[in-house]
Chain A
Amino acid sequence: MTARIGVVTFPGSLDDRDTQRAIRLAGAEPVALWHKDKDLKQVDAVVLCGGFSYGDYLRAGAIARFSPVMEPLIEQAKAGLPVLGICNGFQILTEAHLLPGTMLRNNHLHFICRDQKLRVENAETAWTTDYTAGQEIHIPLKNIDGQYVADEHTLDELEAEGRVAFRYVDFNPNGSQRDIAGVTNAAGNVVGLMPHPEHAVEPLIGSGRTDGLPFFTSILKKLVNA
């Protein structure tokens, strides 16, 4: 058997088809979810992909967070459904309070697109078991609102609990506090990050590396072995 992984399309989602492709390449079955869906079609996990949901005209992710599909998603995520938020998806997860902190405009105020070096700090989440802790990977980054911030107490707590999942290495592209590129919830089922693993799944395409594929193989293994 394989796993069915949902990919939500909000108006303004951009990387939905790319994410579906990455899921397919990992060997799982992508399931398209629509923002107006009131149920999750019995998927085994969900990816909230990148883009500019609702144009991000209010605040990144702030409106998408109230889409009908988010209601069952929030409920099931709290009960353990694996959820990965990439870029705009990460922003939506923080707006939905499934993950702590928030994203501000990049400190240099420009959109930035680059192949970014990261360190996997936590290789025990639902989405990172195919990495090893401390592994350095290159994943494309592309955003304008990517500066991760949280209060000192939250940051200390995240560090203490090993919930900083990814950190920028060599170059902090947006002024994120403590070089944080991604975080996980305490249970390890909800993970969010700004870089785009779905753009690093094929040699030749995009960054030309496959450093992002383990996100999708990790979850597949977890679901199939469950």
Chain B
Amino acid sequence: MSRTPLDTVEHAAATPDVELPWAELGLKKDEYERVVEILGRRPTGAELAMYSVMWSEHCSYKSSKVHLRQFGEKAPENDAMLVGIGENAGVVDVGQGYAVTFKVESHNHPSYVEPYQGAATGVGGIVRDIIAMGARPVAVVDPLRFGAADHPDTKRVLPGVVAGIGGYGNCLGLPNIGGEVVFDACYQGNPLVNAGAIGVMRHEDIHLAKASGAGNKVILYGARTGGDGIGGASILASETFDDAKPSKRPAVQVGDPFQEKLLIECTLEAFKEKLVVGIQDLGAAGLSCATSELASNGSGGMRVTLDDVPLRDSTLSPEEILMSESQERMCAVVEPEKVDRFLEICEKWDVIATVIGEVTDGDRLEIYWHGGKIVDVDPRTVAHEGPVYERPYARPSWQDELQADDANKLPRPETSEELKDQVLKLVGSPNQASKSWITSQYDHFVQGNTVLAQPEDSGMIRIDEETGLGVAIATDGNGRYAKLDPYHGAQLALAEAYRNVATTGAKPLAVSDCLNFGSPEDPAVMWQFAEAVRGLADACQQLGTPVTGGNVSLYNQTGEAAIHPTPVVAVLGVIDDVARRTPVAFQEEGQLLYLLGDTREEFGGSAWSQVIHDHLGGLPPKVDLERERLLAEILISASRDGMIDSAHDLSDGGLIQAVVESALLGGKGARLIVPDGLDAFTFLFSESAGRAIVAVPRSEEVRFNDMCGARGLPATRIGVVDGDTVEVQGEFTLTLSELREAHEGTIPALLA
């Protein structure tokens, strides 16, 4: 066996003609040429490894960057924003000295390949982002999208994903308080596994990913580094460096939630003692990302000795070590006199911690291996100055035809009997059915601060036991709306999440998003992306809720077929006293039901059109953001002043879906009267946005009506909480047990 000489910087300079496998690592020719130009020589193998992962679509946002800028350019003035886009997660001031950090990310591709580990490590990654900001993670949410509910592969993917989220999150001790589960054939080969997390800290505890102060030590702690999660590196390793080693590692990482739990506690303890100058978690691109980002965000350079990285597999090459995405690792920058204490805390928690380098007063990132310098780069060129693409985009030729296929013209139920049948079909359809078979596999009690959890409109966590201060989070997205009109579809996703937060009584503050799309190389997909980002940025500006961070997932596409454009939007809200929260469930018989907002004939992209007609066409519901804002203000005031006892937002499935959910959760029925000017069908199934139903105690009716009247919000009395049936007067009556059977039986029958 012949051993290739170590590819040091010196060696690279002396051997300009050595061919490197840049194409196999996913770099384009011009990108590789740019690396050569930046360095003034060919890169070493290790440098190539770093550039290739950091300049990947996933890490560099090279296709999406030019559009994402709008989130910054159009960001509304918002005093609550403490840390914006660009850090591990955004941070928002929620009052009383508390700050909250939150973010949503995707783990779509790995979850299709290996559902359990893909989903589990998705949770792990987002939680580390939260810890890296200095916060204690307090809750997770999981917006999930799968192929058709009755497709055999869904039965492989969904239970694995759910078990992975549960297996990891439950073991970390994080309550799972929200999210969504949506089925649509368009996600068959590309399930969307998005994961969100919230963390809480005091203002003074905010930490950033930067390495400052020459002489400060760089400490890698957590799990040992293994060969898992290396994508292209295996090719690099087997073709260029050493033939005799294991290669072709699995590309999906393997999670160890126990290790992550220790990492959380040990990191928080180090923060508490103020031992940490800068910190970064190791996620995508592993050490390549952590070292280059820490160094480029700091004031100096960094020198790292790769030999000191604790390994699970001693045969790993330096390139593999740099690219490994082994989970449960973090990198901290610590002043020299505090290193001993930091290592002591790690030891207390049985966490391996090793000094692997130090901050220098130069401006280079230098990495050594076996005494040779194998990386010598300006870290900014790796982390921040990657390629930027202006991908061509064009409105697809089929868009007009799709929009012309008007759902409002579909045949409607002609008799009361037919209407009743369709109600049962709708509330029992996989998308509208109860997801408790799934959510009961997640711990939502742990930490003892959960005020609301799914199926409530938003999850709510108390963050101060004395004052009752709390935060709420809702995630929403509707790929069907976005397919019909990506600009307004994205706005509807925001509007729904915003409304869901307000429905529980919390004031919406800020936004995180996970933008799931097909291939950016398809101009039609790129148009959907551009439109969705523009729509979301415009709407955030108008609602005054800035985007604090998020994630883009592209290439969710099998062959020519892309998923529906699916922007998933998370809205974070704050509530002064969680005792004032409003639940979905009907509380007391005799309370009056009011419909807030305007109901129009809007069925494009609706659940009704999907369930009854398997149809997708027309236009999504009209967006009126000023109305959304007014509705939110009314819901929050009504909650604060004790004027409503339950509330539910109206979205997919329309009013009847909301009434049935509130009735089943509360174990109390409702008598409904179709208001003047509406037909029963439109009343029950329309998906007009900007609406909610509320239950008003009779003693509050006058006050509530006066408030809505004075503010100009249409409020229509539509019935009363009563009995053990849902009755639409003059049309039909369904018992709660009939409804429960339809609503709660579907998912277990398909998946259990």
- Do they bind each other? yes
Bound Cα distance from A73 to B108, whole angstroms: 46
- Whether A114 sits at the interface, judged by CB under 8 Å, is yes
From A34, which residue of chain B is reached at the shortest CB distance? B348
- Residues of B within 8 Å of A144, CB to CB, are 170
Question: In the assembled complex, how far is the CB of residue B577 from the closest CB belonging to chain A, in whole angstroms?
Answer: 10
Bound Cα distance from A144 to B349, whole angstroms: 25
A205 and B258 contacting across the interface, CB-CB below 8 Å? no
A140 and B445 contacting across the interface, CB-CB below 8 Å? yes
- Residues of B within 8 Å of A59, CB to CB, are none
A11 and B349 contacting across the interface, CB-CB below 8 Å? yes
A207 and B445 contacting across the interface, CB-CB below 8 Å? yes
B350 and A17 contacting across the interface, CB-CB below 8 Å? no
A15 and B451 contacting across the interface, CB-CB below 8 Å? no
- Residues of B within 8 Å of A17, CB to CB, are 447-448
- Residues of A within 8 Å of B172, CB to CB, are 14
Bound Cα distance from A196 to B173, whole angstroms: 14
Question: In the assembled complex, how far is the CB of residue A141 from the closest CB belonging to chain B, in whole angstroms?
Answer: 9
Chain B residues bordering chain A, tally (CB within 8 A)? 34
- Residues of A within 8 Å of B440, CB to CB, are 112-114
Chain A residues bordering chain B, tally (CB within 8 A)? 33
A14 and B173 contacting across the interface, CB-CB below 8 Å? yes
A55 and B448 contacting across the interface, CB-CB below 8 Å? no
From A16, which residue of chain B is reached at the shortest CB distance? B173
From B447, which residue of chain A is reached at the shortest CB distance? A18
C-beta contact mask, A5-39 vs B, less than 8 Å → 1, else 0? Answer: 00000011011011001100000000000000000
B448 and A206 contacting across the interface, CB-CB below 8 Å? yes
C-beta contact mask, A34-60 vs B, less than 8 Å → 1, else 0? Answer: 000000000000000011101111000
Question: In the assembled complex, how far is the CB of residue B436 from the closest CB belonging to chain A, in whole angstroms?
Answer: 9
B444 and A55 contacting across the interface, CB-CB below 8 Å? no
- Whether A204 sits at the interface, judged by CB under 8 Å, is yes
Which B residues between 319 and 359 are near A, CB-CB below 8 angstroms? 349-350
- Residues of B within 8 Å of A222, CB to CB, are none
Partner of A205, one of B167, B173, B448: B448
- Whether A179 sits at the interface, judged by CB under 8 Å, is no
- Whether A111 sits at the interface, judged by CB under 8 Å, is yes
From A140, which residue of chain B is reached at the shortest CB distance? B445
Question: In the assembled complex, how far is the CB of residue B562 from the closest CB belonging to chain A, in whole angstroms?
Answer: 33
- Residues of A within 8 Å of B446, CB to CB, are 14-15, 18, 50, 142, 199
- Whether A198 sits at the interface, judged by CB under 8 Å, is yes
A198 and B256 contacting across the interface, CB-CB below 8 Å? no
- Whether A97 sits at the interface, judged by CB under 8 Å, is no
C-beta contact mask, B346-387 vs A, less than 8 Å → 1, else 0? Answer: 000110000000000000000000000000000000000000
Q: Which of B258, B442, B445, B581 has the most chain A CB atoms inside 10 A of its CB?
A: B445
- Whether B450 sits at the interface, judged by CB under 8 Å, is yes
From A54, which residue of chain B is reached at the shortest CB distance? B258
- Whether A178 sits at the interface, judged by CB under 8 Å, is no
B449 and A205 contacting across the interface, CB-CB below 8 Å? yes
Known: A111-B166, A142-B443. A55 touches B258 (CB 8 A): yes
- Whether B262 sits at the interface, judged by CB under 8 Å, is yes
Interface pairs A-B: 7 shortest CB-CB: A55-B258, A14-B173, A18-B448, A199-B445, A52-B171, A140-B445, A142-B443
19 A-B pairs with CB atoms under 8 Å apart are: A12-B171, A12-B261, A12-B262, A14-B171, A14-B261, A17-B448, A18-B448, A52-B261, A55-B257, A55-B259, A56-B171, A110-B163, A110-B441, A111-B163, A111-B442, A113-B439, A142-B446, A202-B448, A206-B450
Taking A14-B446, A140-B445 as known contacts, 10 extra A-B pairs with beta carbons closer than 8 A to each other, sorted by chain A number, are A11-B349, A17-B448, A55-B258, A110-B166, A111-B441, A111-B442, A113-B444, A113-B445, A142-B446, A196-B445
